[in-house]
Amino acid sequence: MASIEERVAQLNYELAVYKEQIALIKRETERIGLTTVDLTNALTTIENIKEEPKEKSVLVPIGGGAMIKSAISETKILVPIGAQYMAEMDRESAITEIEKRIEATKKAVERLTEEFNKITTKLHTTAVEMRQIQNEAELSERVDSNIREDYI
**What average pLDDT does the structure give for the chain?**
84
150 pLDDT band (50/70/90 cuts)?
A: low
Closest CA to 35 of 99, 82, 84, 105: 105
| Chain length of the chain | 152
Run of H or E residues at 116:
helix 91-151
Torsion sign over Cα 57, 96, 77, 55: negative
DSSP 86: E
Specify the pTM: 0.69
Q: Are 71 and 130 in contact (CB under 8 A)?
A: no
- Mean pLDDT score, 141-152: 65
Contact 95, 46 (CB under 8 A): yes
Domains annotated for the chain, with CATH where assigned, are 2-48+91-151 (1.10.287)
Over residues 49-64, mean pLDDT: 70
Nearest to 58 by CA among 66, 67, 39: 67
